A and B are shown apart, each in its own frame.
Chain A
Amino acid sequence: QKEVEQDPGPLSVPEGAIVSLNCTYSNSAFQYFMWYRQYSRKGPELLMYTYSSGNKEDGRFTAQVDKSSKYISLFIRDSQPSDSATYLCAMSGAGANSKLTFGKGITLSVRP
């Protein structure tokens, strides 16, 4: 079993839709949970991170972490064509020398 599993894609939605992206993980030591957005031929860009369980909101984006279920989600409200990209979940422990473990990524296309 991989440490981080991400829902396979691709995903295509109409403009204005609510998008739900999900990842599961197996390593109980993970404490930080990140979502990165990667446009074609660009490097990943950090969208937001959450420490431990709970919700975090930033504009149209909401990240949720449920450590009891080892499940994280990213919700995008009122999706826009500019949200079309690959979304990567990533996780790490809390130690100084922890490293990021990424999911495979899911490609989202928002149709005008």
Chain B
Amino acid sequence: EAGVAQSPRYKIIEKRQSVAFWCNPISGHATLYWYQQILGQGPKLLIQFQNNGVVDDSQLPKDRFSAERLKGVDSTLKIQPAKLEDSAVYLCASSLGLVHEQFFGPGTRLTVL
């Protein structure tokens, strides 16, 4: 069974630029999550999708971050414009709907200069 795929793996941008990350969840997983993991901290949930609907985006900085999951499969997370404090690893996870059985992708490491 293929795992959660993410791309790109690494991205370096300058502040005020925009960036987008892509996630392909495990086949059949209806629930998809985006997390932000700052160095030395645990992952923090940004947004949760159930199929193509948003379940929780309470911690998503909506003035600069946006996410979509068209057709209920792949998802993209966008940051526009980026700030220095957005430097982090962005993790995508998916599950069959059980919050306690999430499978994570390798993450995208973003550096904002």
The residues of A with any CB-CB pair to B shorter than 8 Å are 4, 6, 32, 34, 36, 41-46, 49, 51, 88, 90, 92, 96-100, 102-105
Contact = CB atoms under 8 A, between A and B. Distances in A.
Given A99-B56, A102-B42, 15 more contacts: A32-B99, A32-B100, A41-B106, A42-B107, A43-B91, A43-B105, A43-B107, A45-B104, A46-B101, A88-B42, A97-B55, A99-B99, A100-B43, A104-B40, A105-B41
A45 B105 CA distance: 9
B26 to A, nearest CB: 12
Residue among A34, A98, A100 with the highest chain B CB neighbour number at 10 A: A100
Given A96-B97, A97-B56, A102 B44 contact: yes
B24 interface: no
Contacts of B56: 97, 99
Contacts, number: 57
Interface of B: 4, 40-45, 48, 55-56, 91, 93, 97, 99-107, 109
3 shortest interchain CB distances as A-B pairs:
A102-B42, A43-B104, A32-B100
19 contacts: A4-B42, A32-B99, A41-B109, A43-B91, A43-B106, A43-B107, A44-B43, A46-B103, A49-B101, A88-B42, A92-B99, A92-B100, A100-B99, A100-B100, A100-B102, A104-B40, A104-B41, A104-B42, A105-B42
A43 B93 CA distance: 9
